[in-house]
Every structure is written in C-alpha cells, then in structure tokens.
Amino acid sequence: SSSSLEEQKKCIEEMPLDELGARISWYVSKDNLAKQGRSQVQQKYIDISSDGLGKILWERFLSVCRNIPVADNFYLSLWFRGVRGYDPVDKPHFTAPYLTKEGFQKLKGLVNRVSVRTISVEDALISPDIPKFTKACLSNIFEYFSAKAAEVIFDLLGSSMASGSRIAYWELYASRRPSPDGKLHYLRDLSERLAQIDRVFWYDDFRVYEVK
C-alpha cells in the first residue's frame, strides 16, 4: 500500500487504466446488469445511457483514487486488497464499526429492538402503530423514485420526525434533494467529512440532513 497520497496517485497512473476502465464500463452497463438478473425497471428514473453509466463510474473511480488515501478508507482498501483490507496487522481496528468485536456485542444487545416491516417508506412514517423515528438511514433509495415521489418522502420525513432528528442517504446516478425551504437542513461539513472516511467510487455524494 502507498504511504502517501502522492505515492498513491503515482501507483494509479502506472496501472493499466484503459483496460480497467473498459472492464468497469462493461460490467455496469445496463445490458450486462440485465443479463445478471437486475431489472431495468430499477433504472427507470436514471436519465443516463448504458455506456454513460460506465463513463461516470470510471471518472468517479479515478477521482476517489487520486483524492482519498486508501490507507485511511477501509471500504476502498477492501476493494483493492481483499480481506486484508479489513484487519491489517498494524491496524487491528481498521474495519467497519459493526464488524469489530465491540460493535458486534453492542448490536447483539439491541437485536430485540429490530422490527421488520414490508411496507412503503411513506406508510412507515405515518403509521400510528410505529413509534416516531429519530434517525433514518436511507441508503440510495431515491434512485428508484421520481423527483416528485422523492419530494413527498422528504416532506414526510420533515413533518413526522422530531426536531433534531437526522436522515442520511447516498446519491448514485439520480440527484434528489429536499427543498431548501422545507424542514430538512443540510449538514454540509458532517456530510463531506463522513464521505471522506468511507466513500467508495460507486457513489456520487453522501448527504446528512437534520430536522429543523
């Protein structure tokens, strides 16, 4: 592994970038994903061509490799180095928090609080049978909603969660943002700091909002 970001940049430029870029572009193309069983309906709201998806991800890959030290990013380190990226000898705690022994014990003690519901996000937010949420980790669900539907969910999050509650989500191909005039306040510094810690190149942005 590289000892500095400058050394890492040099290593990246020495890699067979043309071949690697072509393979990434092929793998994430809509046609190839469809052959692997992923329905193209999932990309209904992504206004990008099949070839365009690969180009976008390749540019993100290069940007991350040139700007985020792999040595400080366990996700990216894992992608490059395999399982060695999770527990190097010199960094015994270099791993996702939930994979550490301490994290496992904490989660084990909370397992009885887990409730699985097969309902929509909207119904979960307004259901009288579900306690009010103070945190919402939404992954990249907005990729699969129209801009109008995302707007409805953002409004529900702002109106149904208590002041000070937080939501977090990734953006992949589709940009979805709550109205600046709504009840969700963007935490820019926190969002950017967290993105630097654990970001891999698939995602475009990581966003954390707080209910006003």
Segment 47-94, tens digit of pLDDT: 888 778 888 888 888 888 888 887 767 777 777 777 654 554 556 556
CB 171 within 8 A of CB 138: no
The stretches in the chain having pLDDT less than 50 are 85, 88
pLDDT at 92: 57
pTM (two decimals): 0.82
**153 contacts: CB under 8 Å, gap ≥ 6:** 121, 122, 125, 142, 145
Q: Per-residue DSSP letters for 86-149?
A: T--TT-TT-S-GGGSHHHHHHHHHHGGG-----S-HHHHHH-TTSPPPSEEE-TTGGGGS-HHH
Q: How far apart are CA 72 and CA 4, in angstroms?
A: 10
Cα 72 versus chain centre, distance: 17
Residue at 109: amino acid letter: G
Using a 10 angstrom Cβ sphere, with 0-12 exposed, 13-18 middle and 19 or more buried, the burial of residue 61 is: buried
The pLDDT of residue 163 is: 94
pLDDT of residue 80: 74
